[in-house]
A = this chain, B = another copy of it.
Amino acid sequence: MRKIADSTVRRLSLYLRFLEDFEGQGIATVSSDLLATRGGTTSAQVRKDLSFFGSFGKRGLGYAVPELAVKLRDILGLDREYLVTVIGAGNIGEALVRFKGFEKRGFKVISIYDDDETKIGQTRGNLTVRNHTLLEQDLHDRPVDIAIIVTPWTAAQELADRLVAAGVRAILNFAPVQLKTRDDVLVKNVNLALELEALSYGLRNS
Contact = CB atoms under 8 A, between A and B. Distances in A.
A91 B84 contact: no
B170 A186 contact: no
Contact of A192 (B10, B17, B106, B190): B190
Interface string A71-100: 000011110001010000001101110110
Contacts of A104: 193
29 contacts: A1-B205, A9-B198, A13-B193, A14-B176, A14-B178, A40-B178, A75-B201, A76-B197, A77-B203, A77-B204, A82-B203, A91-B94, A92-B99, A96-B192, A99-B192, A101-B176, A102-B192, A104-B193, A105-B193, A106-B200, A107-B193, A107-B200, A146-B203, A169-B206, A170-B199, A172-B196, A188-B195, A188-B199, A190-B195
Interface of A: 1, 4, 6, 9-10, 12-14, 17, 38-40, 75-78, 82, 84, 91-92, 94-96, 98-99, 101-102, 104-107, 145-146, 169-170, 172, 176, 178, 184, 186, 188, 190-206
